[in-house]
Structure 1
Amino acid sequence: MNQTLKFTDIIAVGFTLFAFFLGAGNIIFPPLAGQLAGDHLLPAMFGFLLTAVGLPLMTIIAIAVSGGSWEHLTRDLPKRISVVMAVLIFVIIGPAFAAPRTGLVAYEMAVKPFFTQPTQLYLTVFSIVFFAVAMFLSWSQGKLIDAIGKFLTPVLVLGLLILGLAVFIDPQGEILAAHAQYLTEPLTKGFLEGYNTMDTLGALMFGMLMVDTLRCRGITEPKATTNYLIKAALIAASGLAFVYVSLFYLGATSSAVASGADNGGTVLSIYVQSLFGPYGQFALSLIVLLACLTTSIGLISSCSDYFSSLTSIPYKAWVIIVGVVCAVVANVGLAQLIALSVPVLYALYPVAIVLVLLTFLRSKLPNPQASYRVALSVSFIFSLLDALKAAGINVPAFEHIPLFDIGMGWALPSAIAIVVMFFVGGAKQSAQKQAKAL
């Protein structure tokens, strides 16, 4: 069987993955972060790129080199723990938070500005229509590349390219002084802000979805699958990096036109209208609708694919279930949904980071099974403490933990656990090598 793709198909796969990633959080968080970072733009942006581009890229590569599935990625964990982790991630990145957020951001930025007095009914109707379209385009997995990579994404990329270039050619203001935590810890704040994109968690889903998509294109051999998945990840990462750099710079130069804005969506909307005039909102609406729609398609497809593999309920039935739940949750409201998601992300993101790191270190670990279980347990315990703090719960007994004050109390204990595990099982392995030598 032919195990090669045409150049145009490789680009389409990369564009599809880029479109899956580029959704609500990718658009609304960088502008406000850029505005608050001000003259500390570069370290803040670098920190954001680490978690919003670097980690998703590493995650896709980890899935590729580990065998292209969640089972391969977590093969050193107990089966039940692996399933529970997967279900939690799929629920959070799917119907609980990320997928409904795509509909909410699409409504807030692309539809709501055109109404003088929008009511809750407007959001309800839009949610139904938006997720009905997403379900329709998620119906056939094999056609995802054709529907998204070859049609929707090129339009999205063109719009983002025009916006990105316009921001650098005609900035709407000067870069002012940094604010809040960006003044003292811009790199760390940017790193943590990248959690909000949920892209590392999303990469765990999208990587497996892209493996299935490649199989539908005739790519079944592990080596070829790994090769094309890595190429797609590099294309997607390059696109994300361009978007984030543009939106950060947009935010940093927005104080003159959008001072006092309380969210990145408002900053972006006002800035675009300042750049392009009254027709700017139409262009922004198109970009936001496409970005949010393509991401919702990827999220619904990934969740449905995974849950259908766990249950006797078929894929298409799960598409309907997940889509309907997303439409219902979307009516909670954007501010409330974001507030609810932050502690959850503080609890799960570190676990995902450590899992990806262990994937690259696995061949060097004397006892991979013990290493995975210990390191992931440590990261989860300490990330729960960070999550409690993010939720506003006071935990003074743990304030002495290094980096706990900036929301990264998990980092040092996790690093220590991984280093310690390099020495666990080493003596046994050495004895086995000596026995073989004799």
Structure 2
Amino acid sequence: MNKTVVVSGLMLFSLFFGAGNLIFPPMLGYTAGQHLWIAMLGFVVTGILLPLLTVIITAYYDEGVEGAGNKVHPVFGLIFAIVIYLSIGALYGIPRAANVAYEIGVKSIFPAAGYWLLIVFSLLFFILVYIIALNPSKMAATLGKVLTPVLLFVIALLSLFTIMHPERALQPAHGKYIHAPFVSGLLEGYFTMDLVAALAFSVVVVNSFKYAGITDKKQIVISIFKAGIISSSLLLLIYLSLAYMGGTSSAHAFKDGTDILTYQSLRNFGSLGNLLFAAIVLLACLTTCIGLVNACAEFFHKIYGKISYQRWALIFSVMGFCFTTLGLETILSLAVPLLIFIYPVSIVLVLLSCVQVIIKGRSKYLFILPAAVTLLFSVLQIIAEQVGWFHGFYNMLPLSSLGLAWLVPFMIFSFIGFIMDRVIPASRVAA
């Protein structure tokens, strides 16, 4: 395994490992208790394997996010890609990560600070993001050789101290993890929304190999598979450590994973605990924002080349700064409907692309029908979230309580689309 693969694998890990990935596993472990390992198995399926599959499939087709949507229709593909990059970029992903870095990594150290500290922090944060993202050919080296090892060292330090000196044994599960630990873990990994990020990050990783002089498509796919294994192995190790950290935490009134990590940092390192935890959060959010700015700038430069990559990187850094100053609560309230709309169809397009690799022949309706019905049910969920009387009707749909009302219609219409592609003559489709 050559140096480029290892560095790219470390870079991919750092891109995926943001604030959400840091705080989900500890709370899962705390709630799942003795069912921790079953719950983590579900979490791994949607939080690691599905994003890994997305990176490999996107690299295999070498078409990026737009290519996945083009299988439905070229216009849909372009609109879908723009919405994806805006949602994971300036409108949600970038400002969310920056805000979490501020709320957990800075504000926790200076609790009396006012709004101006957010302004100053955001300005410095995005200047650093822009400087590193400015040269994409060197980004893999910056993240893979410098920031990722530091991030891994800090997380490993906290994890090892906790594992070697657990506060208590795993306790009985409570809440949703009592009767359905695997499904609950599955949904927890689903809500990380790493699959959407993977659609964009795959392009970043592909470009890192191209910058290294690898141009053969087959070799790139093989290299990305190896880099993905490195990234996934690190994510698995970190997730299990963080979950165990939560599972062995004493019975305090923890409201989320942030509380657990702060508590364990203070328990193991005393007054230095806040600084350690702040360093973890800042590094995790910084590496994610760098990757998102790079991915967004690469995409928009591709579709509108009159503006240089460097100028697009500046645009997204400035937009990230502006949206960050709105505050985390405002960003989350504005972004939730958008994410409900795009995430299910993103999963559908990735899964169908995997099916297309296995089966041969035409796949026109295999993509159009499931994508259309999934978008319909996503719209219904958004309406149900906003309109009280419709909420009761929506809850009658299978799996709606889990936010997966689209799943059964997707499977049904995928089968119908598969049959139609083999029954309807190609000449009629072309006509």
TM-score (structure 1 length as normaliser): 0.90
1:274 maps to 2:278: no
Given that 1:35 and 1:248 are in contact with CA atoms closer than 8 Å, whether structure 2 keeps it comes out as: yes
Task: Supply the RMSD in Å over aligned alpha carbons.
Answer: 2.3
1:127 to 97, 122, 139: 122
- Residue type at the aligned position of 2:143: I
Q: Residue 262 of structure 1 aligns with which residue? A: 255
Alpha-carbon distance in structure 1 between the residues aligned to 2:426 and 2:303: 40
AA at the equivalent of 2:287: T
Task: Tell me the residue number matched to 1:373.
Answer: 368
What's the counterpart of residue 406 of structure 2? 410
Question: Residue 318 of structure 1 corresponds to which residue in structure 2?
Answer: 312
Q: Is the 8 A contact 2:381 2:394 kept in 1?
A: no
Out of 295, 306, 328, the position equivalent to 2:299 is: 306
Q: Which stretch shows the higher mean deviation, 39-48 or 246-255?
A: 39-48
| Structure 1 contact 269–281 (Cα < 8 Å) conserved | yes
* TM-aligned CA distance change 1:333 to 1:191, over 3 Å: farther
1:341–1:177 distance in 2 versus 1, CA, 3 Å: farther
Cα–Cα, structure 1 residues 183 and 383, in superposed 2: closer, same or farther, change >3 Å?
Answer: farther
Q: Which amino acid aligns with 2:350?
A: V
- Does residue 17 of the first structure (1) align with residue 22 of the second (2)? no
Deviation digits for residues 80-117 of structure 1, max 9, x if unmatched?
A: 10011111111111111111122112112221222241
Give the equivalent residue in structure 2 for 1:248.
Answer: 243
Superposition TM-score, scaled by structure 2 size: 0.92
Residue 421 of structure 1 corresponds to which residue in structure 2?
Answer: 417
Equivalent pairs counted in the alignment come to 425
* Displacement of 1:163: 2.5
User: Deviation at 1:125?
Assistant: 0.9
1:111 to 85, 96, 106: 106
Runs of 4+ in structure 1 over 6 Å off = none
Partner of 2:27: 32
> What's the offset of the Cα at 1:184?
4.0
Distance change (3 Å), C-alpha of 1:113 and 1:425: closer
Task: Give the whole-Å Cα distance in 2 for the aligned partners of 1:20 and 1:31.
Answer: 20
> Hey, what does 2:285 align to over in structure 1?
292
* Structure 2 counterpart of 1:348: 342
Letter in 1 for 2:135: S
Query: Residue 224 of structure 1 is aligned with which of 215, 219, 222?
Result: 219
Structure 2 CA distance for partners of 1:323 and 1:366, relative to 1, 3 Å: same
Q: Distance in 1 between matches of 2:182 and 2:87?
A: 26
Whole-angstrom CA distance in 2 between matches of 1:271 and 1:55: 30
Unpaired runs of at least 5, structure 2: none
- TM-aligned CA deviation for residue 317 of structure 1: 1.3
Q: Deviations over 1:335-390 (max 9, x none)?
A: 44345444433332221111111111115265312211111111221233334445
After superposition, where does 1:81-92 map in structure 2 within 5 Å? 81-92=76-87
Q: Which moved more, 1:316-325 or 1:326-335?
A: 326-335
What is the alpha-carbon distance in structure 1 between the residues aligned to residue 332 and residue 169 of structure 2? Answer: 29
Check conservation: 1:188, 1:406, Cα contact below 8 A.
no
Question: In 2 relative to 1, CA 316–329 (structure 1 residues): closer, same or farther, beyond 3 Å?
Answer: same
